[in-house]
Every structure is written in structure tokens, then in C-alpha cells.
């Protein structure tokens, strides 16, 4: 049966797609994640069709955050820093802020239609299936799949967009109402970084399709972002079957990252030893002191600019020269952990982070953003110090 024959338009509109396959009916609702109309359509379809299962484009973590309205309150900041996941947190905050701004303009908060699907299913005693891949796995796969320069480009573009003032006209708002905002954003990123499109859209299309197809019942309603609809329909019609575990694994970093990460310390230490051998212990001592100060001072200055706790500034000054000699942990993570320990954010600051991230002054006032700011500036200081120290020490050999 062709795709055209499988899709039969009923009275719900073009956002609702019907697939008949293997004596089963799968109804896919393509939604805009910030649209009251999408939420109303979702409720109407579920109540009218009475499916055996309702599949939702959510994972357990995102569903809990939406249903309990505690996206940030339960944040374990210290543990997140220990696991070196601050970059994931930053991306989450940027996406949340982007959606929240649009939600306030449109009068509907992000994810309303997904929560509406879950609530409608519960009201009608219909089982729900959370079909999306865990968000942390998706973000970590995306991050680890990018090159160093792609990461710099992404973060630079993200922070530049934070403070960019864009007027949303009525025409633009109307256009947004008809779209899956998150998928649109990911598609734009995918144009400049194809690896992101593969991880954030293509992999998830396949993942969602398989989860939907394997859901129990003869009639399934699936509620997904409009940007996923075509990919899901194609995968279901092809009966595409892959080992989902293979795309639930976080790939290791490029071996070049490890080679460079350990190569720099080896070169620095070897250079100091050679200086000591050829030029004497005094020269080796002077270069060691230069390395210490070249790393410690910029890292401490970065922490000072972020108004870090005095103990954080002192700690990163002494830690940076040593963390720069190992890729296991960076100076920024040391600074962030100590800052979070001595100046932990309160619940209100965590709740308001999606708003505060757009206000430059709040990067110093909101304690969660200040921890991130300390992390970023201390890390940059350490990178600068490593470059200066390495240049001076290697130059001293000749």
C-alpha cells in the first residue's frame, strides 16, 4: 500500500495523518509546541477516536517536568557539575528561554499540547506511552558528535542570540503558531551543522517511529512535533527496524581529543625537564613558576569578573596550573563546584533562570547563572593561560 493510500484526511485538518498498516491504524498528530490550537486538536482527536494507546513525544524526565511544573526546582547542581554536564545545562537553559519568550507572546507555554495529550488520555482511561529518547542522551550525543570548533560556533551563536532583541510581528507570530518551533530551530542549526540534524531530528524520527509502531493496540494516536511527522511516517511505512540501544549510547569523544588532551601536558612537562637538563634547575624553576602564574592569574581574573566567592577565586588560582596538565577535569569545573558550594542558588533563582538568562545584569545577580558564568570565564582564563605558558616554555628550549 502506497503512502498516499495510507494517509486519509478526515475532518481534523491536515495536521492529523492516518496510516493503516498491518491491520492497525496509527494516527499521527503534528503539533506546534507553542499553540493553543494544537492542544485543542489533540484533545478532540483523542476523545473522538478512543485509541488503545496515546504516544507522546516526551521522555520520562521531560514529562515529569511538564506535569509537576518543576523543571528546575529539583536541579542537583553539584552532582551535575561532578558529572561534567554544565554544557548540557547551558543548552537546556538557552532552549527553555527561547521557548518561554515565544510562549509569553503567544499566550501558550511550551509543551501545552503534549501535556494535554497525557491529561486527555488519563481522563479517558487510555494508557500513555512516552516515546521519545531521553533528553540527556540526545543532548550528550549531539555534543559529543561535534568537533571542537563546532562547539565553539554553537555556544557563540547561542550566547549572541540571548541578548538579541527581535520584534515579533503579528505575521511572524501567526507563522510560528503553525510550526513546531523546536524542530524549526533544530532544522536551522542542521543547515550549518549537519551532525546536529542527524542526532536531534533524524535519529529521533526513527526512534519515535519504532516506539509508536511497537505500542500496544489496534489504534494508536501519536502526538509529535510537526517537524517529525514526515520522518516518522516514512520510517513506519518502510517498517524501518533498528536496534534502539545503538542510538541510546553516548559516543565517546574523538580519540584526537584524548591525544591532544594528554599530549599538551606531556609536551609541557617534557619541555621543563629538558630545560632543567640543558639550562639548569634555575631555568626550569623559572619556567615552572611562569606556567603556574600564566594559568592561575587569568583563571582567577575570570572568576573575579564573574564576582565569584573569594574562596572560589583563590581555589581556581591554585587549581588551574594543575588542571591544565590533565584532561580529566578543567579549572572551570573546579571553580563552578566551589562556587555552587559556597553560593548555592535558591529555588526562586532556579525557577527564574529562563527569564534571567536574557538580562545581562542577572548573570551576576542570579546565583545559578553566576555559577555558569564562573565556569565559562575561569575555563577561558585557563585556556588562555595554557596557550601563553606553553608558548613561553617551548620557546625557552631554543
> Buried (b) or exposed (e) across 326-357, using 16+ Cβ within 10 A?
ebeebbbbbbbbbbbeebebeeebbbbbbebb
Whole-structure pTM value: 0.66
| Radius of gyration, CA atoms only, the chain | 25
Q: How many CA atoms lie within 13 A of 71 on its CB side?
A: 18
pLDDT, position 299: 96
Q: How many CA atoms lie within 13 A of 283 on its CB side?
A: 17
Q: At what angle do helices 203-213 and 229-237 cross, to 10 degrees?
A: 60
pLDDT, position 300: 97
Element (H, E) at 373: helix 367-396
Q: What's the rounded Cα separation, in Å, for the pair 145 and 139? A: 10
Same domain, yes or no: 340 and 298? yes
Report whether 208 contacts 132 (CB < 8 A): yes
Same domain, yes or no: 60 and 166? yes
Same domain, yes or no: 98 and 72? yes
- Give start and end residues of each alpha helix (H) in 52-180: 60-68, 77-82, 86-106, 112-123, 135-145, 148-162, 170-177
Q: At what angle do helices 281-305 and 255-279 cross, to 10 degrees?
A: 140
pLDDT, position 173: 47
Provide DSSP, 316-368.
HHHHHHHHTT-SSS-HHHHHHHHHHHHSPPPHHHHHTHHHHTT-TTHHHHSHH
Provide DSSP, 262-304.
HHHHHHHHHHHHHHHHHH-HHHHHHHHHHHHHHHHHHHHHHHH
Q: What is the residue range of 146's domain?
A: 3-247
Our count of domains for the chain comes to 2
pLDDT, position 1: 41
Q: What's the rounded Cα separation, in Å, for the pair 131 and 212? A: 7
Report whether 196 contacts 146 (CB < 8 A): yes
Same domain, yes or no: 162 and 274? no
pLDDT, position 347: 73
Which residue among 247, 275, 309 closes a domain?
A: 247
| Phi, psi at 72, each rounded to 5° | -110, -20
- The pLDDT averaged over each successive group of 10 residues in the chain (398 residues) is 44 82 91 76 93 94 73 68 77 69 61 89 95 86 76 64 51 52 59 76 91 94 89 87 82 70 86 90 92 95 96 96 87 93 84 80 91 93 92 86
Same domain, yes or no: 159 and 286? no
Same domain, yes or no: 270 and 387? yes
Q: How many CB atoms lie within 10 A of CB 249?
A: 10
What spatial distance separates the first Cα and last Cα of the chain, rounded to whole Å? Answer: 74
Which residue among 190, 221, 247 closes a domain?
A: 247
Same domain, yes or no: 266 and 183? no
Amino acid at each position: 500500500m502506497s503512502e498516499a493510500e495510507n494517509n486519509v484526511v478526515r475532518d481534523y485538518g491536515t495536521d492529523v495523518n492516518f496510516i493503516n498498516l498491518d491491520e492497525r491504524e496509527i494516527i499521527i498528530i503534528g503539533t506546534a509546541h507553542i499553540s493553543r490550537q494544537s492542544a485543542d486538536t489533540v484533545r478532540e482527536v483523542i476523545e473522538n477516536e478512543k485509541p488503545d494507546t496515546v504516544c507522546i513525544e516526551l521522555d520520562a524526565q521531560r514529562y515529569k517536568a511538564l506535569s509537576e511544573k518543576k523543571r528546575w526546582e529539583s536541579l542537583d547542581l553539584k552532582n551535575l557539575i561532578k558529572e561534567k554536564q554544565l554544557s548540557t545545562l547551558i543548552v537546556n537553559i538557552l532552549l527553555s528561554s527561547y521557548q518561554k519568550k515565544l510562549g509569553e507572546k503567544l499566550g501558550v507555554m511550551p509543551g501545552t499540547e503534549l501535556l494535554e495529550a497525557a491529561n486527555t488520555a488519563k481522563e479517558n482511561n487510555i494508557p500513555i506511552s512516552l516515546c521519545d529518547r531521553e533528553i540527556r542522551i540526545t543532548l550528550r550525543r549531539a555534543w559529543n558528535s561535534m568537533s571542537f570548533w563546532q562547539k565553539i560556533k554553537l555556544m557563540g551563536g547561542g550566547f549572541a542570540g540571548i541578548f538579541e532583541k527581535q520584534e515579533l510581528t503579528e505575521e511572524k507570530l501567526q507563522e510560528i503558531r503553525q510550526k513546531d518551533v523546536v524542530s524549526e530551530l533544530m532544522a536551522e542549526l542542521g543547515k550549518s551543522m549537519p551532525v546536529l540534524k542527524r542526532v536531534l531530528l533524524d535519529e529521533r524520527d526513527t526512534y519515535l517511529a519504532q516506539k509508536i509502531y511497537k505500542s500496544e493496540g489496534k489504534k494508536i494516536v501519536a502526538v509529535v512535533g510537526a517537524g517529525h511527522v514526515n520522518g516518522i511516517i516514512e520510517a513506519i511505512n518502510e517498517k524501518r527496524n533498528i536496534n534502539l540501544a545503538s542510538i541510546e549510547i553516548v559516543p565517546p569523544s574523538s580519540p584526537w581529543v584524548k591525544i591532544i588532551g594528554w599530549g599538551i601536558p606531556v609536551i609541557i612537562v617534557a619541555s621543563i625537564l629538558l630545560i632543567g637538563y640543558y639550562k639548569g634547575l634555575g631555568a626550569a624553576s623559572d619556567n615552572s613558576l611562569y606556567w603556574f602564574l600564566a594559568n592561575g592569574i587569568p583563571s582567577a581574573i575570570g572568576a573575579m569578573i564573574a564576582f565569584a566567592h573569594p574562596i572560589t577565586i583563590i581555589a581556581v588560582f591554585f587549581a588551574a596550573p594543575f588542571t591544565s596538565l590533565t584532561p580529566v577535569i578543567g579549572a572551570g569545573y573546579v571553580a563552578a563546584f566551589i562556587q555552587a558550594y559556597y553560593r548555592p542558588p535558591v529555588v526562586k533563582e532556579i525557577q527564574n533562570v529562563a527569564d534571567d538568562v536574557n538580562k545581562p545584569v542577572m548573570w551576576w545577580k542570579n546565583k545559578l547563572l553566576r555559577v555558569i558564568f564562573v565556569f565559562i570565564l575561569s575555563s577561558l582564563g585557563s585556556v588562555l593561560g595554557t596557550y601563553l605558558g606553553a608558548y613561553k616554555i617551548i620557546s625557552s628550549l631554543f
